[in-house]
Structure 1
Amino acid sequence: MAELLWKRGTTLGQGGFGVVSLASTSNALFNGVTLPSLIAVKSCNYSDSQSLKEEEEFLGMFKHSPCIIHCFGANLSFEDEVIIYNLLLEYASGGSLANRLRNCNSLPEFEVKKHTKNVL
């Protein structure tokens, strides 16, 4: 169960597909990879998990790209008598590009070039 691999911490964000939380790990081995000490966990009710399953599949196609958040896989937990689907993701401490734009309204040219290159 999830409690052995990671412990849910602060909520980082919430959206239409669920909640993203910061989680600490015991550096456990999961899907053949040692989890870093901090990860992001995107969670939703199992009954609503189709979009997260599709996200996991999409991220899996880019698992070797250094420009895409790494997905370690998914697991299930049982919280408040509900089955929860959890997508275990690399934690990007700098936040999202969308948050950066909201906070700054603009980016320096070198940063725009970097992000454009990464997207392409």
Structure 2
Amino acid sequence: MAELLWKRGTTLGEGGFGVVSLAATSNTIFRGVTLPSLIALKSCNFNASQSLKEEVEILLMFKHSPYIVHCFGANVSFEDNVNPYNLLLEYTSRGSLADRLQNCNSLPEFEVKKHT
């Protein structure tokens, strides 16, 4: 089990695979990389973590792409007597494409081009 590298904050969203929270770090070095002061933490119960384990593998394949949310890796923590599996992700303050679409019925063509 890894040491706690962050402090979980506000819940940003919930989905079928777990919860995404904002987390604060103290410029901690994790696997040779200095984490930014804010990250997104995608977490689920360790016993149901197979989909997140697959997600981290896919995200790490695109770690050099400026168009994909950066994944810093994964760890297991101990919080409130449970062991969540956590993906440490780049925090995108403007939200996701799904968030943008939820807030309006359509996007201008230039924005669609930017996202695709």
TM range (shorter): over 0.9
Task: Give the count of matched residue pairs.
Answer: 115
Secondary structure at 1:24 match in 2: strand
Distance 1:85 1:66, change over 3 A: same
Match of 1:27 in 2: 27
Higher helix residue share: 1
Determine the C-alpha separation between the residues in 2 that align with 1:76 and 1:84: 6
Determine the C-alpha separation between the residues in 2 that align with 1:43 and 1:16: 11
Deviation at 1:92, TM superposition (A): 0.7
Secondary structure at 2:24 match in 1: strand
Residues 1-120 of structure 1: pairs in structure 2 closer than 5 A? 1-3=2-4, 5-116=5-116
Unaligned runs of 5+ in 1: none
Identity, in percent, stands at 78
Superposition TM-score, scaled by structure 2 size:
0.95
Deviation at 1:2, TM superposition (A): 4.7
Superposition TM-score, scaled by structure 1 size:
0.92
- Find runs of 4+ consecutive structure 1 residues off by over 2 angstroms: none
Determine the C-alpha separation between the residues in 2 that align with 1:24 and 1:43: 15
